[in-house]
Amino acid sequence: MFDFTFHNPTRIVFGKKSIAKLSALVPKKHKVLITYGGGSIKKNGVYDQVALALKDHDFIEFGGIEPNPRYETLMKAVELARKEQVRFLLSVGGGSTLDGTKFLAAAIEYTSADPWDIPTAQTQVQSALPIGCVLTLAATGSESNGYAVISRESTNEKRAFFSELCYPQFAILDPETTCTLPVSQTLNGIVDPFVHVMEQYMTYEVNAPLQDRQAEAILSTLIEEGPKVIADPNNYDARANVMWCATQALNGLIACGVPQDWATHMIGHELTALYGIDHAQSLAVVLPALLRNRREQKARKLVQFGRRIWNIDDTSEDEVMEKAIVRTEEFFQSLGMKTRLSQYGITEGLEQVGIRIEKRNEKLGEHQDILREDIDAILKLCRD
Amino acid sequence: MFDFTFHNPTRIVFGKKSIAKLSALVPKKHKVLITYGGGSIKKNGVYDQVALALKDHDFIEFGGIEPNPRYETLMKAVELARKEQVRFLLSVGGGSTLDGTKFLAAAIEYTSADPWDIPTAQTQVQSALPIGCVLTLAATGSESNGYAVISRESTNEKRAFFSELCYPQFAILDPETTCTLPVSQTLNGIVDPFVHVMEQYMTYEVNAPLQDRQAEAILSTLIEEGPKVIADPNNYDARANVMWCATQALNGLIACGVPQDWATHMIGHELTALYGIDHAQSLAVVLPALLRNRREQKARKLVQFGRRIWNIDDTSEDEVMEKAIVRTEEFFQSLGMKTRLSQYGITEGLEQVGIRIEKRNEKLGEHQDILREDIDAILKLCRD
């Protein structure tokens, strides 16, 4: 395996009624800004639980952070937080609210220039407010990492950044809060973690058998538990298992000492920016196409994936690989996901994806060998 | 699964030549105490690497910490550290040196009474010096948890304690440092983690499929990679894989939301205290006997273990369980471990184990139902 550093300081507080523990986790001495999204937390009882736990704290609120959180919206929160001298941020919602809150944490402290530098100019974050999190949708893994993805409406850009200072201090995960999610969000919570694991696992072999098996543990559990939450949204145990899979999929652990890909995400981000399809929708379309296009480079791991995850016992490795890709597609379809862009009515202008990625001089894939013509070929497979 | 909290702040720095990174990891402003064991680090080049990395630091040393570190020895280090106003501890060695160093971290600050309170009176640690660690033998998992086990020679006691303040701030894991270990220590590095996993996995079913698979990932990797390090002590990749397994086995992750047993360890600790056999030697003897004695209580997990880890495909669950126990014993034997006390010449006085555990009013097992007569029955199976 490769040399690595692993450090994940986030405290996970997992289980029923865990929101009540906020009271002891959020510092009392400073003003707190509670951030949230479209307001579902005010309907499903989560907000009331948070407000009750923080009844002796001094807090203000900022709502309306979008899915794919927007720079334009977040800058209003930056202004509010600076004015109100907020010193602690509490994100209540899913990965988008939390990603937006991570941007806030860094942007509030970044007073020397435009905070859009943070995700674009690879400006290293020098200071950030502490963040806590009540997670109501487990999908992105953001609750236990230092990554955030921010979109800018005016330029149709979607960009990521990382900082050690942006790990939440704590993340409260109460699986009950996920029981009222709409089906599309529940789907995100299965497909996004599945593809996160694939980005860190489906590369080339570096003799890291524990990391491989830890990745496979998550994949197998998502395949087993995912359909249960679709069939019965109130199945607490299945909700809990899917939620824990999502956290484990992107907390840095399975990335230790192994190569990573992330081309599916990079291409998917462009599809979201250009066509507005959900993050997980884009991933379910791109992953099978990418695997077909990169079969040769990923052969060993693709065979291992077919045998261990899908129990395909053909002797022909070609057969195993093809069947593994088909089974993965069928898994997404069985959950109710579309796997072709044409099913969303998207057939034109796809060459823009490659043009935009090339313009930013980004090299995709674990070998940095996915060039513009490869992206075009992958998107052709995505289309129909 | 059960509700849980998970928090592991240790920074892992893993790979070749990683000791050089000490220079940036150890604070320069305070006096550092380097702790070590029998002095092998002065022969195998590890000490020289540490001293070179810390050439601009102010450090003193304390060597001679024993395997199963002794209170009597450690109190001498407490005296030295207090006198020299040490404010940072750097453990260079294996789990025993590190466990001893954790005791020091708490004991140096515990000035109001006898520090033996810390492991015995369940005195909660209120303050502890920060600890860093260069690990030269991965076995106990101590490099990434807050546990320590300390022995007191004068009373033949071996006692454990835990504190959130005793997690190392960082742990440097260079697998190359393990290549010169004697075979017996290499064996400890396979058997101890294997049994750590079993204590957290081989209990009863609580619908925690990810944790089960994460545990199984470690077991399968130890079974695969363990024999390689025995066959070729210089196999870097296998050393790295075994080392990472040992850390993952006891960093709290696979314990999230599941019941735990630890009876094998508790009985094993008494055997070490009474007869002086190695920690791992005691575990390899006790585990198979405990599994036979607790077959009924552990039936579901024992069948799962047999099918998933040992690929036993008998239809009879009784057959699967029996074969799983035999295969586990054979695995220990194949590495060169003895699996019966009589092979160590230990046949008399075994009832002392149960008497001592009963006297401390400790209830063993995941159901707290392993009583003195059960311990006697387990030890009978251990004997021959």
Q: Where are the beta strands (DSSP E) in B20-86?
A: 32-35, 59-62
Question: Strand A157-162 to strand A131-135: parallel, antiparallel, or no bridges (unpaired)?
Answer: unpaired
Q: Per-residue pLDDT averaged across A171-181, rounded?
A: 95
Angstroms from B199 CA to nearest CA on chain A: 19
Q: Which candidate from A207, A213, A244 shows the least CB-CB separation from B210?
A: A244
| DSSP symbols for A330-378 | HHHHHHT----GGGGT--S-THHHHHHHHHTTPPBSTTS-B-HHHHHHH
**Residue A360, pLDDT score:** 87
Sign of the Cα pseudo-torsion (A62, B7, A160, A325, in order): negative
Angstroms from B129 CA to nearest CA on chain A: 19
Distance CA B142, CA B94 (A): 9
3-state secondary structure of A263: helix
Q: Which of A43, A65, A53 is nearest to A177 (CA)?
A: A43
Q: Which of A27, A172, A38, A41 is nearest to A87 (CA)?
A: A27
Distance CA A170, CA A134 (A): 9
Q: Which of B201, B240, B206, B173 is nearest to B17 (CA)?
A: B173
For residue A206, pLDDT over 90 is answered with yes
Q: Which of A258, A257, A267, A315 is nearest to A291 (CA)?
A: A267
**Residue B158, pLDDT score:** 82
Question: First-to-last CA distance in chain A?
Answer: 38
Distance CA A182, CA A280 (A): 14
**Under 8 Å between Cβ of B376 and B370:** no
| Cβ within 8 Å of residue B141, ≥6 positions away | B95, B147, B193, B196, B246, B247, B249, B250, B251
Which residues of chain A neighbour B138 with C-beta distances below 8 Å? none
Distance CA B151, CA B153 (A): 6
**Under 8 Å between Cβ of A370 and A376:** no
Instruction: Give me the amino acid identity at B284.
Output: A
Q: Which candidate from B1, B9, B15 shows the least CB-CB separation from A4?
A: B15
How far, rounded to the nearest angstrom, does the alpha carbon of residue A304 sit from its chain's CA centroid? 25
| Cβ within 8 Å of residue B78, ≥6 positions away | B104, B107, B108, B115
**Residue A158, pLDDT score:** 82
**Residue A228, pLDDT score:** 98
Distance CA A254, CA A77 (A): 34
Which residues of chain A neighbour B256 with C-beta distances below 8 Å? 12, 14, 244
> Are A217 and B214 in contact (CB < 8 Å)?
yes
Residues of B within an 8 Å Cβ radius of A: 1-16, 18, 207-211, 213-214, 216-218, 220-221, 224-225, 237, 240-241, 244-245, 248, 253, 256-257
Q: Per-residue pLDDT averaged across A116-141, rounded?
A: 92
User: In terms of CA atoms, which chain B residue is nearest residue A213?
Assistant: B217
Rg, chain B, Cα only: 20
For residue A123, pLDDT over 80 is answered with no
Polymer length in residues for chain A: 384
Where b means 16+ CB within 10 Å and e means fewer, B238-254 reads bbbbbbbbbbbbbbbbb
Q: Per-residue pLDDT averaged across A158-185, rounded?
A: 94
Q: Which candidate from A3, A225, A240 shows the least CB-CB separation from B16?
A: A3
**Residue B274, pLDDT score:** 92
Q: Which candidate from B11, B225, B244 shows the least CB-CB separation from A5?
A: B11
> Are B241 and A1 in contact (CB < 8 Å)?
yes
3-state secondary structure of B114: coil
Instruction: Describe the strand order of the beta sheet including A170-173 as a list of residue ranges.
Output: A59-62, A32-35, A88-93, A131-135, A170-173, A4-14, B4-14, B170-173, B131-135, B88-93, B32-35, B59-62
Tell me which residue has tokens 């014993």. B329
Distance CA A127, CA A119 (A): 15
> Are A210 and B11 in contact (CB < 8 Å)?
no
Residues of A within an 8 Å Cβ radius of B: 1-16, 18, 207-211, 213-214, 216-218, 220-221, 224-225, 237, 240-241, 244-245, 248, 253, 256-257
How far, rounded to the nearest angstrom, does the alpha carbon of residue A351 sit from its chain's CA centroid? 25
Which residues of chain B neighbour A209 with C-beta distances below 8 Å? 220-221, 224-225, 241
Q: What is the dihedral of CA A149, A162, A248, A53, to 10 degrees?
A: -80
Going residue by residue through chain B, which has 384 residues, state the pLDDT in tens, using 9 for 90 and above.
999 999 999 999 999 999 999 999 999 999 999 999 998 999 999 999 999 999 999 999 999 999 889 999 999 999 999 999 999 999 999 999 999 999 999 999 999 999 999 999 877 899 999 999 999 998 889 999 999 999 998 988 888 899 999 999 999 999 999 999 999 999 999 999 999 999 999 999 999 999 999 999 999 999 999 999 999 999 999 999 999 999 999 999 999 999 999 999 999 989 998 999 988 999 999 999 999 999 999 999 999 999 999 999 999 999 999 999 999 999 999 999 999 999 999 999 999 999 999 998 989 999 999 999 999 999 999 998
> Are A208 and B241 in contact (CB < 8 Å)?
yes
> Are A14 and B257 in contact (CB < 8 Å)?
yes
Q: In this predicted model, what pLDDT tens digit does every residue of A324-364 receive, in sequence order?
A: 999 999 999 999 999 999 999 999 999 999 999 999 898 99
Q: What is the dihedral of CA B139, B145, B151, B152, to 10 degrees?
A: 160
**Residue A113, pLDDT score:** 92
Q: In this predicted model, what pLDDT tens digit does every residue of A32-82 receive, in sequence order?
A: 999 999 989 999 999 999 999 999 999 999 999 998 899 999 999 999 999
Q: Which of B169, B152, B160 is nearest to B74 (CA)?
A: B152
Neighbours of A333 (CB within 10 A): 12
**Under 8 Å between Cβ of B168 and B10:** yes
What's the farthest any 2 CA atoms get from each other in chain B? 66
> Are B210 and A237 in contact (CB < 8 Å)?
no
> Are A14 and B7 in contact (CB < 8 Å)?
no
On the CB side of B166, CA atoms within 13 Å amount to: 29
**Under 8 Å between Cβ of A245 and B210:** yes
**Under 8 Å between Cβ of A104 and A61:** no
Distance CA A105, CA A125 (A): 10
> Are B209 and A225 in contact (CB < 8 Å)?
yes
> Are B5 and A14 in contact (CB < 8 Å)?
yes
Question: Strand A88-93 to strand A32-35: parallel, antiparallel, or no bridges (unpaired)?
Answer: parallel
Q: In this predicted model, what pLDDT tens digit does every residue of A207-229 receive, in sequence order?
A: 999 999 999 999 999 999 999 99
| DSSP symbols for B243-295 | HHHHHHHTSSSTTTTS----HHHHHHHHHHHHH---HHHHHHHHHHHHHHHTT
> Are A6 and B14 in contact (CB < 8 Å)?
yes
Distance CA A301, CA A130 (A): 39
Which residues of chain A neighbour B240 with C-beta distances below 8 Å? 1, 257
Sign of the Cα pseudo-torsion (B211, B213, B215, B217, in order): negative
Where b means 16+ CB within 10 Å and e means fewer, B155-170 reads eebbbebbbebbbbbb
User: In terms of CA atoms, which chain B residue is nearest residue A206?
Assistant: B237
**Residue A159, pLDDT score:** 87
Instruction: Give me the amino acid identity at B334.
Output: S
DSSP-derived secondary structure letter, B42:
G
Angle at A302 between CA A297 and CA A304, to 5 degrees: 130
Q: Which of B86, B95, B29 is nearest to B62 (CA)?
A: B86
ipTM for the complex shown: 0.96
Distance CA A68, CA A84 (A): 26
Element (H, E) at B214: helix B209-231
3-state secondary structure of B124: coil
